Amino acid sequence: MQDIKRQLKGKVEISNLGKIHWLLGFEIQCDQDAHTLSLSQKSYIDSVMKRYGLEDAKPLSTPMDPSAQLSKSHSPSTPQEYADMQDVPYREATGSLTYAVIRSHPDIAYATTAVSCFNENPERVHWEAVKRIIQYLKGTIGWEITYSTKVKDLEGYTDADGSTNEDCHAISGYVFLIDGGPVSWSVKMQEIVALSTTEAKYIAAMHAAKEALWLHSFLGDILRPLNSATTLYCDNQSAIALTKNDQFHAHTKHINICYHFIRYVIQNGSLCLEYCPTEDMTADMLTKALPSPKVKHFASALGLHPA
């Protein structure tokens, strides 16, 4: 480390600020005794609450009400309704939440994606959903992403759900973890309308497989070559069977050939797709709104822990 600093100093002007505490808006805590590294955005979340006048709001235990159905039918349709929303900073708020999602809060990824669909024409019910996410962040402001000494190789979880979307497009979600902490996660609407749960989860697994290959290669470059296949967990036995069987079945023969990419990844040994029960599917939190007990359970599985 000292040699690297010396070489850098020979090229550019640098200052030694001592042990790292802040980086790109992250608060970083290194516990050398416990051998853990924790990342949080407490200051950023606090600023978001103040910006939208929610510093005194009641903390909530879920980022989204599981019984709520956000719909475009709620959007303004009369001049009075448009005027009522004119001064509401809806886009700014969803942008602020998106920044928290991509940095340190995968637990609000689905909720933020859901409310962002109404950026063009939001109504009060949508604005209340945005404020709920901020109130959830207030209740979990002390949570941190923690990487521990419990050494675990790269592993991923993939899931999909389309039962809650009015346009019938399923939501794909995946998360990859190293040493108990997340390093990559995503929530996206699928390009096509899947005709079955198997098809939706198969497509989600294909997208996760592409990310797994990239992470496998990247980690091999910066650390050491990874000889073992990356484990990807899926909670659908039919989807797993489809990746191992190159025969087209009656219910899946219409799937575009591009989605069968995952078969070749598994055949060449780069990826190992394994079954995971739904109650242990960490990516479940990325595809739907969940009740409080499940939110806490999966947030912990995502590597988020109270400080």
* Residue 1 belongs to some domain of the structure: no
**What is the Cα–Cα distance from 109 to 100, expressed in whole angstroms?**
9
* Residue 13 belongs to some domain of the structure: no
Pair 133, 198 in one domain? no
Pair 162, 209 in one domain? yes
Pair 182, 95 in one domain? no
* Residue 98 belongs to some domain of the structure: yes
* Residue 185 belongs to some domain of the structure: yes
Residue ending a domain, among 81, 106, 139, is: 139
Q: What is the pTM of this model?
A: 0.86
* Residue 9 belongs to some domain of the structure: no
Is residue 30 a contact partner of residue 40, using CB atoms and an 8 Å limit? Answer: no
Pair 124, 225 in one domain? no
Q: What is the 3-state secondary structure (H, E, C) of the chain?
A: CHHHHHHHHHHCCCCCCCCCCEECCEEEEEECCCCEEEEECHHHHHHHHHHCCCCCCCCCCCCCCCCCCCCHHHCCCCHHHHHHCCCCCHHHHHHHHHHHHHHCCHHHHHHHHHHHCCCCCCCHHHHHHHHHHHHHHHHCCCEEEEECCCCCCCEEEEEEECCCCCCCCCEEEEEEEECCEEEEEEEEECCCCCCCHHHHHHHHHHHHHHHHHHHHHHHHHHCCCCCCCEEEEECCHHHHHHHHCCCCCCCCCCCCHHHHHHHHHHHCCCEEEEECCHHHCHHHHHCCCCCHHHHHHHHHHCCEEEC
Pair 162, 64 in one domain? no
Is residue 156 a contact partner of residue 135, using CB atoms and an 8 Å limit? Answer: no
* Amino acid, single-letter form, for residue 206: M
| Residue range of the domain that includes 89 | 40-139
Q: What is the CATH number of the domain that holds 252?
A: 3.30.420.10
**pLDDT by 10s per residue, the chain, length 307:** 888 888 989 999 988 888 888 888 789 988 888 888 899 999 999 999 999 999 999 999 999 998 888 888 878 778 888 888 888 999 999 999 999 999 899 999 999 999 999 998 999 999 999 999 999 999 999 899 999 867 678 899 999 987 666 667 889 999 999 988 999 999 999 888 877 888 889 889 999 999 999 998 898 887 777 778 899 999 999 889 888 876 556 556 656 667 778 888 888 888 999 999 999 999 999 999 999 999 999 999 998 988 7
* Residue 77 belongs to some domain of the structure: yes
* Residue 239 belongs to some domain of the structure: yes
Pair 129, 212 in one domain? no
Pair 127, 177 in one domain? no
Residue ending a domain, among 139, 170, 195, is: 139
Pair 99, 160 in one domain? no
Pair 302, 157 in one domain? yes
Domain count, the chain: 2
Pair 134, 222 in one domain? no
* Residue 15 belongs to some domain of the structure: no
Pair 134, 276 in one domain? no
Pair 285, 156 in one domain? yes
Token duo for residue 200: 């939706």
Is residue 215 a contact partner of residue 176, using CB atoms and an 8 Å limit? Answer: yes
Residue ending a domain, among 139, 162, 194, is: 139
